[in-house]
Structure 1
């Protein structure tokens, strides 16, 4: 799928990639979701399906937080307060920890809610606001959203499919 360059393409990319991911997630037996058998987001680490979902929730919530702060004229610490762009593995570990006590069904519900809120955010913005001006450094808001939603959803689906194949 090509990188979205319009609001409509962004909505379609998120919707399509999330639906495909969600379909994969629905076929995983709950008892397998806690085993750390997937390659982690930090070098030489392993994660569980639950960790992967926590990661997606964490980034989705960051997108919402960034936008809210920007809309309120507040300063945004990118990517997150206390983390630099070269520390994304540590940030992933934080997301895993943030949601470690949640069971699989709760994580799926939280991910659904996060995706719904992102879609509401996008639908509340014009194409111009999403793609015709810089939002963070050289990146547009639409691109920042895509980097943290549609692309990771596609990546997560690939990781899960690879993991499922290894279980056959």
Structure 2
């Protein structure tokens, strides 16, 4: 399988595989280390906590669900999110961190797992044609937009988490 899913089955597998690997790493991080800065941030030169990485993924997952819901109703979608432009993704990431700053590590992981299940349900209920054979946003298909905001950042964050674990001898 290529790194970029080209159909519904590959997308489902990419998300499940990335999630399985990432959650395996997350589960080895003790709760007391989950809020310690030391993970390379989304904004150049910043460090964030493990919890912030989950908040980031959760934030994007929730946006994918929101986009699908709005599009299904024929409503306008304010990409990437209301109040943010594509050139403000660092600010959006910081907003996700702030939004979930009081959540426990366990609650974040549980909520992200639930969000991924919802996304996989959306994929399972969407035809391959609707996922990959028509443009959904600008030049991108819905499947590609899902991948951009699920399996792709999960792989990226897993690399950062593994670096953090090595640095902290976890």
TM-score above 0.5? yes
CA offset digits 1:88-126 (Å, max 9, x no partner): 000000000110010001001001000000000100100
State the Cα distance separating 1:57 from its structure 2 match. Answer: 0.2
Does the alignment pair 1:46 with 2:47?
yes
SS in 1 for 2:52: helix
Q: 1: distance between equivalents of 2:168 and 2:94?
A: 25
Q: Equivalent residue of 1:164, what SS?
A: helix
Q: Counterpart in 2 of 1:166?
A: 167
**Which of 42-51 and 73-82 deviates more?**
42-51
Instruction: Look up the SS of the partner of 2:145 in the other structure.
Output: helix
Aligned Cα root-mean-square deviation (Å): 0.7
Deviation of 1:39 after TM superposition, in Å, equals 1.2
Give 3-state SS (helix, strand or coil) of 1:16's partner.
helix
- Is the partner of 1:61 in helix, strand or coil? helix
TM-score (normalised: structure 2)? 0.97
**What residue is the counterpart of 2:115 in the other structure?**
114
Tell me the distance in 1 between the aligned counterparts of 2:39 and 2:131: 33
Unaligned stretches of 5+ residues in structure 2: none
**TM-score, reference length from structure 1:** 0.98
Q: Extract unaligned runs of 5+ from structure 1.
A: none
- Equivalent in the alignment of 1:128: 129
TM-fit CA distance, 1:136? 0.1
Secondary structure at the counterpart of residue 136 of structure 2: strand
Q: Which residue number corresponds to residue 92 of structure 1? A: 93
Inter-partner Cα distance in structure 1 for 2:32 and 2:61: 25
Q: 2: CA distance between counterparts of 1:108 and 1:94?
A: 18
The residue aligned with 1:66 is 67
Shift of 1:2: 1.9
Q: Distance in 1 between matches of 2:42 and 2:63?
A: 17
Shift of 1:46: 1.3
CA deviation profile, 1:5-42 (whole Å, cap 9, x unmatched): 00000000000010000000000010000011111111
Measured in 1, the distance between the counterparts of 2:161 and 2:5 equals: 24
